[in-house]
Amino acid sequence: MSRTTAVILAAAFVLGPTAAFAGAPKACTDYDRKISSQYAGAIQKAQASGSACQKTALQVKLMEAALAAPTECGSAGDRSKLKAAIAQSRQSLKDQGCP
């Protein structure tokens, strides 16, 4: 598995650790299910045949979705790290010459 694919998979489960614990707020588990189902096809397609640009763009979308999770689903520190990772990935898109 390439590093980019691994990052996409990790981003897809950004909400997972919060939602996976017993007693996680219902809003977190509901949001996790919604995002997982919304992006399942795109993740599979990117893994199978996506270009580096497509994978990085999907990574940004997944991190933005995680950032949009209800506030009880992550700490301020987690959100800050996500914002930094989003900025870094957007810069990577520019550096790669992606549309």
Which has the higher per-residue pLDDT, 38 or 18?
38
| Cβ–Cβ < 8 Å for 31, 15 | yes
Q: What is this structure's pTM?
A: 0.74
Average pLDDT score, the chain: 79
- Residues of the domain holding 10: 3-95
**pLDDT higher than threshold 90 for residue 44:** no
- 32 Cβ neighbours under 8 A, 6+ residues apart: 15, 16, 18, 19, 69, 73
How many domains is the chain built from? 1
